[in-house]
């Protein structure tokens, strides 16, 4: 079975997961695992941007050591920044590229090449998806398109989950407001807020 067929099967698997799951963690974990296995690479990580600290926080990882995953804070302003602003970035040699924030940690992990693509939701970049290879890798256009498609789907899943959670919270609030038990305590008469001295 060739890689193109595997990629279509992976896309189908993840879209099915998105349509049946309300848990974004399940979808992003399935995404990073599926990409790693479909491309037969070392590993994959999905990061979300923390707007308060301008750091990339790991949301899901597969195939990489805990030591590498927890190597230190990853700056959205220093670590392959152009992939967040301009689109996919492929790095052929991590040992000789100034865009890598932790080149020594990458070498120790046995990483040779990295592909980084943005995760965009409604024209807003919310994170990045990165693929790591053990050997030098010339990423093809098909590789980039596949990983970008997976990143877009993961972004949609995260957005849908946030929307669904917000909707559920709103419904619960409305139910509480309409609940006869709580309704009495929330009801106000024209005189309730008038101080006793004026009543």
The CATH number of the domain holding residue 168 is 3.30.450.40
**φ/ψ of residue 55, rounded to 5:** -110, 155
Q: What local confidence, expressed as pLDDT, does residue 157 receive?
A: 81
Both tokens of residue 141?
């256009």
The pLDDT of residue 178 = 53
The pLDDT value recorded for residue 190 is 46
Structural domain for 61, as ranges: 3-173
pLDDT at 193: 46
| pLDDT for 158 | 82
- Whether 197 is covered by a domain: the verdict is no
Nearest to 24 by CA among 165, 145, 181: 165
Residue 93 inside a domain? The answer is yes
Q: Please check whether residue 41 lies inside any domain of the structure.
A: yes
How far apart, in Å, do the first and last CA atoms of the chain sit?
84
The answer to the question of residue 199 being in a domain is no
**pLDDT averaged over 10-residue windows placed end to end, the chain, 199 residues:** 60 71 76 88 94 91 96 88 89 92 94 96 91 94 90 85 59 54 48 45
Rounded CA gap, 92 and 114, in Å?
7
pLDDT for the residue numbered 23: 72
What integer pLDDT is reported at residue 164 of this predicted model? 61
At 197 the pLDDT is: 46
Tell me the Cα Rg of the chain.
Answer: 23
Of 6, 43, 66, 31, the closest CA to residue 148 belongs to 31
Q: How many residues does the chain have?
A: 199
CA 77 and chain centroid, separation = 17
As for how many domains the chain has, the answer is 1
Asked if residue 187 is part of any domain, the answer here is: no
**Look-up of token digits 């005189």:** 191
């Amino acid at each position: 079975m060739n890689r193109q067929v595997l990629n279509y099967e992976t896309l189908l698997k993840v879209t099915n997961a998105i349509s049946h799951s309300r848990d974004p963690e399940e979808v992003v974990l399935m995404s990073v695992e599926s990409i790693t296995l479909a491309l037969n690479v070392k590993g994959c990580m999905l990061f979300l941007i923390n707007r308060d600290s301008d750091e990339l926080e790991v949301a899901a990882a597969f195939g990489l050591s805990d030591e590498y995953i927890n190597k230190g804070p990853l700056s959205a302003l220093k670590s392959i920044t152009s992939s967040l602003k301009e689109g996919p970035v492929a790095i052929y040699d991590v040992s000789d590229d100034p865009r890598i924030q932790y080149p020594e940690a990458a070498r120790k992990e046995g990483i040779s090449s990295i592909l980084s693509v943005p995760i965009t939701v409604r024209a807003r970049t919310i994170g990045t998806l990165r693929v790591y290879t053990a050997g030098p890798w010339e990423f093809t256009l098909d590789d980039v398109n596949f990983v970008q498609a997976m990143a877009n789907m993961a972004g949609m899943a995260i957005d849908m989950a946030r929307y669904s959670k917000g909707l559920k919270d709103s419904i619960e609030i409305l139910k509480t407001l309409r609940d006869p038990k709580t309704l009495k305590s929330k009801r106000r008469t024209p005189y309730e807020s008038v101080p006793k001295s004026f009543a």
